[in-house]
Homo-oligomer: A and B are copies of this chain.
């Protein structure tokens, strides 16, 4: 039997708290899960600094990746009798679902920002480069790894396949909303996925939703909205992320200044000098980051030491609402005052902005085009979701942004008798 059709002698099941069980029958999937590149995802958390605020949410990307795979497996199972569905697409979808987050590094958000990297780029590299993942995919058939990479990169010709993995109602989002809700323990994030899966219909170039399932989709979109604002953008987690980002930035700066680290930061050097190769990238996981942060707590450099200590021991920055665009003069004044009292504002006076667009209809030609969700009406017409749903219409296309200013209140309070600090504290108190 061809490798691509090989079935395990007995189905493997993973106990999963969100989907109850994850089922694996294909040898290819089983082999992919067993690779070092996929097992590495156990050492990369799904939510990074969110667990600083929501202590329950310590789950890894390994956990989530299995979940996305399982959702796609169930979607496809429901498709088996549908027109427009070609069983040949099955294994490709499953592999793309399983591997879509493969390139995530430790604390992706901060990491990518400081080192100007993109996890999607590394996902492609792992799939196409000299890895066990690549070998397995090529065993399916020559060129299969490129197809998987293209699906994940959204450049694959068959847009139906792409839409299962990346759209405004894809398996990725459906998994993470439920999973992150489960692990944080919040009451948002619940929607009737079983119903959504049952009303999904494959069409020529996209998955659409039977209109009878519209309310379940509304519920999903509202869940997403609440999860973004209640969990993902929680201001305390963002404080930890600000500190993390500034730590990476400081370490990079010190390296560039030829600062003599007590132990050479071997794992980071290629990141510092912008010449990252795949092998270096794969070595870096969150355990490694924690190792260096522990060492750096004892470095000479006061800023690096302080930031690491803050991150590890949760001595976070405080915050206020602050939109620098609207208050440029205050911003300038604060900057100057921080400099005056020798608290480096590049590290200790930080604006963080989060924004989200909960749902959007199609705006061709714009950057980051988003494919809208289409409803399949009883008369077989397609209608864009926001035209049918009052609630979705109400939030559609409305980007919401939140700006916060982060600063170390503890440090300021220690110097509260210094006139400049007094002034700073007065400004920050509004």
**A residues near B, CB below 8 A?**
13-18, 20-21, 34-36, 39, 42-43, 51, 54-56, 58-60, 62-63, 66, 182-188, 190-192, 194-195, 198, 215-216, 218-219, 222, 225-226, 229-230, 283, 285-291, 294, 312-315, 390-391, 394-395, 398, 400
Nearest chain B residue, comparing its CB with the CB of A22: B55
A-B contact pairs, 29 of them (CB 8 A): A13-B198, A14-B55, A15-B54, A15-B185, A16-B55, A17-B56, A17-B182, A17-B184, A18-B56, A34-B314, A34-B315, A36-B312, A36-B313, A42-B51, A55-B63, A56-B59, A187-B190, A190-B190, A215-B226, A215-B229, A219-B222, A219-B226, A283-B294, A285-B290, A287-B288, A287-B291, A391-B395, A394-B394, A394-B395
Distance in Å: Cβ of A190 to nearest Cβ of chain B: 6
A408→B111 CA distance, assembly (Å): 38
Copies of this chain in the oligomer: 4
A287→B186 CA distance, assembly (Å): 28
Asked if A185 meets B20 with Cβ closer than 8 Å, knowing A15-B54, A54-B15, A390-B400, the reply is yes
**B contact residues around A190 at 8 Å (CB):** 187, 190
- Partner among B63, B185, B195, B395 whose Cβ is within 8 Å of the Cβ of A390: B395
**B contact residues around A51 at 8 Å (CB):** 42
A36→B58 CA distance, assembly (Å): 18
A400→B393 CA distance, assembly (Å): 14
| Known pairs A55-B63, A187-B192 / 11 extra A-B pairs, C-beta < 8 Å | A15-B54, A20-B185, A34-B313, A34-B314, A34-B315, A35-B313, A42-B55, A42-B58, A188-B215, A287-B290, A290-B291
Distance in Å: Cβ of A402 to nearest Cβ of chain B: 12
Q: Is the CB of B391 within 8 A of A16?
A: no
A347→B194 CA distance, assembly (Å): 39
Q: Is the CB of B39 within 8 A of A290?
A: no
**B contact residues around A291 at 8 Å (CB):** 287-288, 290-291
Distance in Å: Cβ of A254 to nearest Cβ of chain B: 20
